Structure 1
Amino acid sequence: MPATTLNIRIDPELKEQVDQVARSLGLSSSAAFNIFARQFVAYRGFPFPVVAPVPTEADFSRQMDAVFDRMRAGHSQEHNPIEEPR
């Protein structure tokens, strides 16, 4: 079967991880992407759920601490509510 070339931009660290996992499965990264492409077509979309990761409690706490630190450092603005509370 004739082949065509697909050029994509990918983070260098991610590419290295893809290469390592593909090699561990006895595949080239090109073969791995071909498998993905065939599954993408067969499923008419992603062959796995694509969802936003839910932060762990520790991640959420770190995020809130960072927001609070920025607020205490004066990087916040006061806003008026759109409607008065009832």
Structure 2
Amino acid sequence: MEKTATLNLRVNPDVKEKAEAVLSKLGVPMSTAITMYLNQIALTGGIPFSVTLPKAPVTVNADMMTNAQLHDKLAKGYADIEAGRVYKAAEAFAEFRKSKL
């Protein structure tokens, strides 16, 4: 099939760089990857992968809490701050990741 259409896209430079690094390892030019993606959309009639929001655990998902539960969580958080029970974000995320393994 002849290639005559042109796409001009604006994307995040970091995302583009990371994608190019992966595609380079695969030996696939960016234009070929985009063509593959567009072909999959045409073949499947939609985006060829699931597009969903990440699911937060119920224990921290404010949308799933009653007002009383949310108030209790916030009150506990404020009490922890006042008592000096605070952690650097990097430490907290590291602990969280360990608990998910």
Shorter-chain TM-score range = 0.5 to 0.7
Secondary structure of residue in 1 paired with 2:38: helix
1:8 to partner: Cα distance:
1.0
> Are the structure 2 counterparts of residues 50 and 4 from structure 1 closer, same or farther at C-alpha, using a change threshold of 3 Å?
same
Q: Which residue matches 1:53?
A: 54
Q: Using the alignment, how far apart are the partners of 2:56 and 2:11 within structure 1?
A: 24
Deviation at 1:21, TM superposition (A): 1.1
Task: Show the counterpart of 2:25.
Answer: 24
**Distance across 1 between alignment mates of 2:10 and 2:57:** 30
Corresponding pairs, count: 64
Aligned to 1:39: 40
Q: Which structure has more RCO (C-alpha within 8 Å, separation ≥ 6)?
A: 1
Q: Which structure has the highest helix share of the two?
A: 2
Distance of 2:49 and 2:10 partners within structure 1: 22
Counterpart CA distance in 1 for 2:31 and 2:56 is 32
Q: Return the alpha-carbon distance in structure 2 between the equivalents of residues 25 and 45 of structure 1.
A: 25
Normalising by structure 2, report the TM-score.
0.53
The percentage of counterpart residues that share the same residue type is 29
What TM-score, normalized by structure 1, do the two folds share? 0.61
Partners of 2:3 and 2:34 lie apart in 1 by 16
| Alpha-carbon spacing, 1:31–1:51, altered in 2? closer, same or farther (3 Å) | same
**Residue 55 and residue 25 in structure 1: after superposition, are their counterparts in 2 closer, same or farther (change >3 A)?**
farther
1:5 and 2:6 are equivalent in the alignment: yes
Q: Which runs of 4+ in 1 moved over 6 A?
A: none
The Cα of 1:56 is off from its aligned counterpart by 6.6
Unmatched 5+ stretches in structure 2: 61-72, 82-101
